Homo-oligomer: A and B are copies of this chain.
């Protein structure tokens, strides 16, 4: 079975990663690729590393031929814009996986709280299933519209949420995030200028704050945590997010007990690795894995989670969600071994 598939917005890093994955996915027949910046060019003219992978001509998103019969559409368009096009195709009966932040809250009030503005299409929100594969798998199956989870939200939610079902936290949860430069996007800016950031670790604090609310929404399925201290620091690597989550639990559990609990919880989830040691970013780079590690410090449990923000944090999970929606084996097209060295 080959799905006639479109990707909206392949210019950026997430779009690029998704294109690389789908170009060799056995169940995907790429039919439409959009790019404003490179419209009119062949895929390999715009992206030389894909020479030989596709003969498609890139078109602007507004010029997709209406006659093109599509089974599936991925949108990598920016938040705010994405839902406009997602809605158009969704209403024509095309299955959609939206990688933007437009549809991640079912309740418009939550959206407004996270984004500081009201959602453009409030009625669309409730129709989208939240695409956090491991924690929402049953609802993703056969879903017509999936809102792919955010990179920070995936990294923190998968690491912390399961525990909250069983254990009560005593304090505010503090999450110290280290995020790679690709999270700042592909458009050149001073914050991503090689010469300026190469030797810099930059505490911006903010960045991904809307995803704090995403995380709290996930937590709300498990417990009633209402506050989360989310602090984001940029580190000079290309790919990767690390979260160190500090939790003081009402009843202490040892790192070994935590490991055992998580190993059980994720027993059937091939992309979640429960590690003996605290994991590093490089150990999952280029792959769809998320790795979890545990240690104890001064009575707090520290959970360290790492993922590749372009893979499990975006395009990889989107493919995983597609596999779930259509009933393909969950790791189809996701066999990338972490790139070492």
Residues of the B chain whose Cβ atoms lie less than 8 Å from the Cβ of A230: 297
Do A275 and B48 contact each other (CB < 8 Å), given the known contacts A194-B236, A229-B246? yes
Q: Does A338 contact B (CB under 8 A)?
A: yes
Interface set, chain A 178-217, CB cutoff 8 A to B? 178, 180-182, 186, 188-190, 192-205
In the assembly, what is the distance between CA of A180 and CA of B24, in Å?
29
CB distance from A299 to the nearest CB of B (A): 7
Instruction: Assess the A278–B203 pair: CB atoms within 8 A.
Output: yes
Other-chain residue from B229, B286, B306 in contact with A298 (beta carbon distance below 8 A)? B229
User: Are B238 and A235 in contact, with the CB atoms below 8 A?
Assistant: no
B279–A48 CB distance below 8 A? yes
For A209, the closest partner residue in chain B by CB is B297
- A227 surroundings in chain B (CB, below 8 A): 298-299
Residues of A297-341 whose CB lies within 8 A of B:
297-300, 302, 304, 306, 310, 335-341
Contact mask A274-302 → B, CB, 8 Å, 1/0? Answer: 01011111111111000001010111101
Question: Does A222 reach chain B (CB closer than 8 Å)?
Answer: no
Contacting pair B237 A236 (CB below 8 A): yes
CA distance A204 to B278 in the complex (A): 7
Per-position 1/0 for A229-248, Cβ under 8 A of B: 11101011111101010101
Question: In whole angstroms, what is the CA distance A235 to B192 when docked?
Answer: 17
Establish whether residues A339 and B340, one from each chain, have CB atoms under 8 Å apart when the complex forms. Answer: no
List chain B residues, Cβ under 8 A from A237: 198-201, 236
Q: With A16-B341, A194-B181, A227-B298 as given contacts, are A203 and B238 in contact (CB-CB < 8 Å)? A: no
Known: A20-B340, A50-B337, A297-B229. A203 touches B239 (CB 8 A): no
Interchain CB contact under 8 A, A201 and B281: yes
- Indicate if the CB atoms of B178 and A340 lie closer than 8 Å: no
Task: Give chain B residues whose Cβ lies under 8 Å from the Cβ of A233.
Answer: 178, 242, 244
Instruction: Determine whether A273 belongs to the interface, using a CB cutoff of 8 Å to chain B.
Output: yes
Minimum distance in angstroms from A38 CB to a CB of chain B: 12
**A203, B280: Cβ atoms closer than 8 Å:** yes
Q: Are A339 and B286 in contact (CB under 8 A)?
A: yes
Are B244 and A203 within 8 A (Cβ)? yes
CA distance A271 to B177 in the complex (A): 29
For A51-89 the 0/1 string (1 means CB < 8 A from B) is 111000000000000000000000000000000000000
Alpha-carbon distance between A171 and B227 when the two chains are bound, in angstroms: 16
Q: Is A176 an interface residue (CB 8 A)?
A: yes
Are A199 and B282 also in contact (CB < 8 A) when A192-B193, A341-B13 are? Answer: yes
Q: Which residues of B contact A282 (CB under 8 A)?
A: 49, 196-197, 199-202
| Contact indicator A195/B192 (Cβ below 8 Å) | yes
| B199 & A240 in contact (Cβ 8 Å cutoff) | yes
Cβ contact of A283, chosen from B48, B228, B235, B242, cutoff 8 A: B48
Would you give 27 A-B contacts (Cβ < 8 Å), ordered by A? A23-B337, A24-B335, A49-B283, A49-B284, A49-B338, A172-B248, A172-B299, A174-B246, A178-B235, A182-B195, A182-B341, A188-B188, A188-B192, A192-B194, A192-B195, A197-B282, A198-B238, A201-B235, A205-B295, A227-B299, A229-B297, A231-B297, A231-B302, A233-B244, A235-B235, A236-B237, A246-B246
